[in-house]
Amino acid sequence: MMRNSETRTTTTGPDDAGLFQLFKETRLDERKSCAFAVSIRMEALAIHILKEGMNGVEAAELLRREVTRYEAESRGDWH
């Protein structure tokens, strides 16, 4: 197996502070958006469980399928 052995060094300076702050704010905004999306999905699942009158076992299975969905999404397996 061949590996790229080239190493690059990047220096940062005071001019980069604004860029780093922008990256930080962007990551925070993305985390907030993801948390909001999950909260909406969880609420939808709760409504579905109640509407369908699911018992504990059925609700647990629904949540397991949802976990599988999130795991796939975290690996980049988009539908």
Contact between 54 and 62 (Cβ < 8 Å): yes
Q: Which tens digits make up the pLDDT trace of 18-29?
A: 889 999 999 999
Which residue pairs, CB below 8 angstroms and at least 24 apart, start in 55-59? none
Which regions of the chain are under pLDDT 70?
Answer: 1-5, 8-12, 79
pLDDT of residue 16: 82
pLDDT of residue 18: 86
pLDDT of residue 46: 98
End-to-end, the C-alpha distance of the chain in Å comes to: 32
pLDDT of residue 4: 61
Q: Under DSSP, is residue 69 helix (H, G, I), strand (E, B) or coil?
A: helix
